[in-house]
Amino acid sequence: MFKRLDSNPSKRVTITIDGIPHEAVAGETAAAAVLLSGIDCTRTTPVSATPRAPFCLMGVCYECLMVIDGQPNRRACQEYVAEGMRIETQRGPGALPE
């Protein structure tokens, strides 16, 4: 769906998305990293379990809720990637952190 204009960016970090390692670029939001990874669905809804993905990228729609570093209900468009960040698809209302 998306690609980087700059094919050789500096300051790379390694994150995992649903357990799979991905390269991201420092300064990118978690939502951007997820969109680049080609994953379509970032959460399923609590009511009917339909797939959703980021919609506004500016913090107002709450469609990008994901489990980030074990914490559910984080807006992926407001979080910035960091080395070792764990990003997971949120199923339904989001499980409580272990």
Partner 1 sequence: MSTAGPKAHYSLVIIGAGPAGLAAAAAAAGHGLDIALLDEQRAPGGQIYRAIESIPAERARLLGSEYRRGEDLVGAIRNSDVEYFPDTQIWSLNREREIGLVHGRSAAMISADQVVLAGGAIERPVPYPGWTLPGVMNAGAGQILLKAQGIVPANGVVLAGSGALLLLLAWQYMRAGVQIKALLDCTPMHNHLRALPYLPRALLARHYLLKGLQYKLDLKRAGISTLQNVSDMQADGEQRVESVSYRHRGRQHTIKTDLLLTHFGVIPHIQLSQAAGCRHYWDKSQQCWRPQVDEWGNSSVNGILIAGDGVGIGGARTAEHAGRLTALEAVRALGRVSQHERDRLARNDRKWMREEQHIRPFLEAFFHLPGKLLAAPADDTVVCRCEEVTAGAIRKAISEGHDDSNQVKFLTRCGMGPCQGRQCAESVTHIVAGATGKSLPEVGLFRVRPPITPLTLEQLGSLFPDETE
Tell me which residues touch partner 1 (CB under 8 A).
Answer: 1-6, 9, 25, 27-29, 32, 35-36, 40-42, 45, 47-48, 50-63, 65, 71, 73, 78, 80
- Is residue 84 at the binding interface for ligand FES, with CB under 6 A as the rule? no
User: Whose CA is closest to 75, among 85, 64, 86?
Assistant: 64
Among 27, 38, 51, 59, binds ligand FES (CB under 6 A): 59
Q: How far is the CB of 95 from ligand FES (least distance, A)?
A: 20
Binding range to ligand FES, per CB under 6 A, among 7-15, 16-24, 56-64, 79-87: 56-64
- The amino acid present at 51, given as its one-letter code, is P
Instruction: Specify whether the backbone of 49 is left (phi greater than 0), alpha (psi in -120 to 50) or beta.
Output: left
Three-state DSSP class for 77?
helix
Q: How far is the CB of 92 from ligand FES (least distance, A)?
A: 18
- Give the Cα separation of 88 and 10 in Å (integer): 25
b (16+ CB within 10 A) / e for 1-16 = eeeeeeeeeeeebebe
Residue 70: name its binding partner from partner 1, ligand FES, none (Cβ under 5 to 8 Å by kind). Answer: none
